[in-house]
Structure 1
Amino acid sequence: MNPTQPRPRAARALLLAFAALAAVHLVALLVRTATGSGGGAHAVADAAVLATKPALMPVLAGYALTRGGPPLMAGALLLGCCGDTLLQIGGDLPFLLGMAAFAAGHVCYLVLFARRGTAPTRARTASAAGAYAVAWAVLVALLWPGLPADLRGPVAGYSLLLTGMAFGSLRAGPLAAAGGLLFLLSDTLIATGIADWPQAPAPQFWVMLTYIAGQAALTAGLLRTTGHPAQAATTGPQPVRV
C-alpha cells in the first residue's frame, strides 16, 4: 500500500484518540487549578497533564498521515510536540529551545501553504497583510516593557514568524485560517503571562484549548487542500474568516 494513501479506519481511530487525549488534558488542567497545590486529586491531575501534553501532537500527526497528508505536515506537528515537551521542563533555556521548535514548525506550515494553498485576491491579501502587521507591531510594543530583557528579541522575532504563519494560513482556506489565528492567540496568552499581565482564571486551560484547536484546524484545513492538489491550484479565492 502507498504510505500516502488514506486509511479511513486508522484515521478514525487516531482522531478519536486525539479527541480523548485533548479532553483528558483540558479537564486535568481545570482540576489541577481547582485543587490548588496539594492533595491526591491535584497529584493525579498533574500527572495526567504531564502525560497527555506530549502525546497530543504525535497522535494528530499520525491522523494526518493516515488521511494521506504529506510528511511535512506531520513534521510540523512533531515539532510542536518537541516544543510542548520542552516548555514543560521550565527555565529560560528549555523555553528558548521550545520556541525554536515551534518556529521550525511554522516554517513547515509556510512551505505547505505556499505549495498547496490558493492565493487570495490582491486587495484581500494587502488588507490582511496590513491587519496582521499592525497587530504584531501593537502587541510587541505593549508586551515589550514587561518582558525580561533577554527574552525581548527572541519573543519579537518568534512572534513575527508566528504572525507570518497565521497570515499565510489564509491561502489554505477558512478552516486553516481559523487555526492560524487560534495558534496566534494561544502564544499571545503565553506571552502576556511572561509579561505579568493580568490573567484569566485557569490560564493554562485557555492556552491549551486555543493551541489544540488551532493545530487541529490547521491540520484539517491543510488536509482539504493536500488531498486535492490540482483543485487547490485551480480554484478561485476562498472566503476567509478573520
Structure 2
Amino acid sequence: MSIDGFDIARSLVCERFPRARAAWLGGSTVLGIATPTSDLDISVLLDGPPAPYRESLRHRGWPVELFVHTEEAMQYFLEKDRKTRRPATLRLIGHSLVLLDSDGTGEYLQQLYAAQLAAGPDPLTTEELLAARYGITDRLDDLAGCVDDDERLLIAADLWRATAELLLTGHARWTGTGKWLHRELATFDRDTGTEYAKALAHGVRAVARGNAEPIAETVTHVLNIFGGRLFDGFTAQGPV
C-alpha cells in the first residue's frame, strides 16, 4: 500500500483516539488488492466508552471505515467470526499494519490472530455437512425445473454462493461474503491447483446466456466430493 495511506490512517487514530491502547490498518489496501473505491479499514482498541461502535467517514480525502472496540466487543466479534467461519475481525487485525501500540497489545493481537487465521476454522460437523448437501441439491432441482429466466439467474447466483461455501468450509478453510467469498475461493484454487472460482463464475455467466449445464456440472462435481446429492431421508432437528 502507499505510505500516504498508512500515514493518513495513523494521523486519524492519533487525532481521534489519543488514549487508544492499539490500532491497526487492515483490508484491501494492506493486502495489495485495493480498487479505486477501496477505503481504509481501521480497527481501534479502547478501554471503554465511546467504544464499541462503527463509523464511516472521510479523512483528508480518504474514505474510512472505523471499527472501535473494547476487549469485550472484540471477543464478541471474534466468536462470531469463528461461528460463521467468516473471519472479518480476525482478518482486519491478523492481516494488518500496526498503527499504534501503547502497551504491546497491538503487536500481540496481530500475531495471535494471524496464527488463528492460518490455522483455519473448525471443521464442519456432520449435521452442517448434511444440511449443506441438502440445500445445494434443492437448489439444483430448482434450477433444473425453472422456466423463468430471471429466477434461473438468481438461483444460479445462490448456487455459486452455497457451493463456494461448501468447498471452503468442507476443506476447513475460511469463507466470506460477496467479493471476499470469491477471493477466498480463488486463494483455495491457487493453493490446490484447482479452478473452482473460475468455473463457478463462468457457470453463472452461462445461465445469463440461457445455458444452465456448466454450473450444474460444476456444482454436481463439488457435491460428489462430499458424498453427492442428498434429498431422501434428510432430517433436521428443530429448536428445543
Q: Same fold (TM over 0.5)?
A: no
Q: Which has the higher contact order (CA 8 A, sep 6+)?
A: 1
Larger radius of gyration: 2
More strand by share: 2
Compare the two structures and name the one with the higher helix fraction: 1
TM-score (norm 2): 0.30
Relative to the length of structure 1, the TM-score reads: 0.30
